[in-house]
Amino acid sequence: MSKLILPDPTRRLILRGAAGGALAGLAAACRVPETSASNYQRFDTDPFTLGVASGEPTPEGMVLWTRLAPNPFEPDGGMGESTVDVRWEMAEDEAFTQIVRRGVERAVPGQGHSVHAEIYGLPAGRTYFYRFHAGEATSPVGRTATAPAFLSGVDRMRVAWVSCAHYEQGFFHAYRNIVEENADLLVHTGDYIYESSWGPQVRRHAVPEPYTIADYRMQHALYRLDPDLQAAASHCPWLVTWDDHEVDNDYAGDVGEEAGVSIADFRKRRLAAYQAYWENMPLRRRSMLERARGEMRIWGESVFGNLAAIYMTDGRQFRTPMACPTESDRGGNMIARDCAERLDPARTYLGNDQEGWLRYNFARSGARWNLVVQPTLFSPFYGTDPETGAANAWSDGWDGYPAARQRMVDLFASRPESNPIVLGGDTHCYWVCDVKQDYEDPASATVASEFVTTAVTSHHTNHDAFAQTASNFGHIKHFDARERGYGLLDLSAERAEITLRTVGEVKRRDGYAPGDQARFVVEAGRPGPQAV
């Protein structure tokens, strides 16, 4: 694969007074351990078919990812039971003439032969290039960056956020456009893969619906083979969370959608999906520390100088099961708003521990902008029962957890100077909303701004009906379900500029036609999006 030559993102991520320091001595100080003969492997085909990625940037490092899979559609990726030492190196230039770090990670079968090299000790706010070597094979080159120094001055930052990339329903034009728009960071709000087949299909999944870790590994491999996804993964660091389709549609906690599946059986499937997700994403090893309990931690905070704090939340693993399920379906349903279970104040969307973490970190943030990333639409959007006329709520979203949502709203209201912005996905629509102190009172204060991106590919068929209903809600400033794309967020000290990017016809490889659907601005100190 040819190298992707990209412009330097530091033209946006400019540090005023960032820490300097020479790197010349680092390369000499960092030796590559000798690779033992027993761990050396000669590959007949390229073991780096799935590309490279980086994620979770800090002011002194990040995690570098790859996964060895010379035959990606075999359950073991074609690696068998071999253990292989994978060498990695980082440089200041793409030609690797100025190498600043080298090391070795061991790719083992129990972790899908994935590599998660955690890098520390680098200067803040710098761009780097990296690659891997296994045997005589060399990976494509990736580009990454350390975050600006904690609370240091940052002039600008560009964040792209995406959701809902169903492989079968289209081509990943959004990933391609994110590279062309030169984002500094890519945030994934969930449904990075899909476990199920539905809707219009222009490509096909490699396996039927996955249940085992081998199934999920092959599903991830199929997505990773997409050239546009690989380009975006190698272009800049990623921050990721999941929604439901990384495991099973509409699951909640340890309760699956299908009523006939026991909690014990579902937890086995969930753990297989979680491990495969970790193996195929640029996540740190700490994410798997709870594996013995059948859990995995993906929520956390990333800080970018004094400009932005980004809180990645997990809205699936720890939530209370759906309110008022039917006998045959424990997933999302339209339920009565006065359903007593729905109104229970003890119900939680994030889980008590995660709620406490978010309150603590949000309260002490010194960043100009505070971005809360969660999987779906946060603000209310109620339907009406066509037979009774009664107002209904969708049980799988925040509408099914009104007390938990109000706790979040109260948190935003407690720190107006934090300039909170809620980012979401899931619904295959664009939404732009005022986050109100009291959604039942249109005159109540706006305490935050919300932006939800449409899908990368996943289709939506009810634009007209949804648009008509959305017009009944004063807090909804923009809605559109007709186009696919992603969101682009440009941050500066004075304002957040949000562009809803469209990418053309995703059902055709040659349908790529990028454009803007709408643009909004949020002024610092003035919550609520304003149309541009």
pLDDT of the residue at 19: 33
pLDDT band at 111 (very low <50, low <70, confident <90, very high): very high
Sheet hosting strand 383-384, strand order edge to edge? 334-336, 391-394, 383-384
Q: What is the DSSP string of 324-351?
A: S--SSB-S--EEETT-TTTT-TT--SS-
Does 12 score more than 50 pLDDT? no
What was the pLDDT predicted at 227?
A: 98
Position 180: which residue type? E
pLDDT per residue over 394-435, tens digit each? 999 999 999 999 999 999 999 999 999 999 999 999 999 999
Quick one: average pLDDT of 70-98?
96
36-45: pLDDT as tens digits? 445 778 899 9
The better pLDDT of the pair 386, 201 is held by 201
Distance CA 111, CA 233 (A): 20
**Residue 23: pLDDT above 70?**
no
Structure tokens at 333: 């349903």
Has residue 31 got a pLDDT over 80? no
Q: Report the sign of the C-alpha dihedral through residues 364, 367, 369, 375, in that order.
A: negative
pLDDT at residue 478 tops 80: yes
Q: What pLDDT shows up at residue 25? A: 32
Q: Which of the residue ranges 16-20, 158-162, 406-410, 444-448 would you say has the lowest mean pLDDT?
A: 16-20
pLDDT in tens, 128-142: 999 999 999 999 999
Residue 386's pLDDT band (boundaries 50, 70, 90)?
confident
In the sheet with 420-424, reading across from the earlier edge strand, the strands are 300-304, 308-312, 369-373, 420-424, 446-452, 430-436, 476-480
Average pLDDT rounded to a whole number, residues 507-522: 98
Q: 31-40, 71-80, 271-280: which has the minimum mean pLDDT?
A: 31-40
Question: Which pTM does this prediction carry?
Answer: 0.92
247-250: long-range contacts at Cβ-Cβ below 8 A with a sequence spacing of 24 or more? 247/195, 247/273, 247/274, 247/316, 248/195, 248/273, 249/195, 249/196, 249/331, 250/322, 250/330, 250/331, 250/332, 250/396
Nearest-5° angle of CA 503, CA 144, CA 454?
Answer: 25
Asked whether the predicted pLDDT for residue 78 surpasses 60, the reply is yes
Q: What is the DSSP string of 133-158?
A: EETTEEPPPEEEEPPPPTT-EE-EEE
Greater confidence, 472 or 24? Answer: 472
Name the band, by pLDDT with cuts 50, 70 and 90, for residue 253: very high
Q: What is the largest CA-CA distance in the chain?
A: 75
Query: Tens digit of pLDDT for each residue in 490-514?
Result: 999 999 999 999 999 999 999 999 9
| pLDDT given for residue 319 in this prediction | 97
Average pLDDT for 207-216: 95
What is residue 38's predicted lDDT score, i.e. its pLDDT?
Answer: 54
Helix ranges (H only) for 85-212 are 173-180
Question: Using 50, 70 and 90 to split pLDDT, how confident is the model at 368?
Answer: very high
Sketch out the chain's domains with CATH numbers: 19-145 (2.60.40.380), 153-531 (3.60.21.70)
* pLDDT above 60: residue 266: yes
Residue 434 token pair = 């005022």
Residue 388, pLDDT > 70, answer: yes
CA–CA separation, 435 vs 448, rounded Å? 5
The crossing angle, in degrees rounded to 10, of helices 352-363 and 402-414 is 10
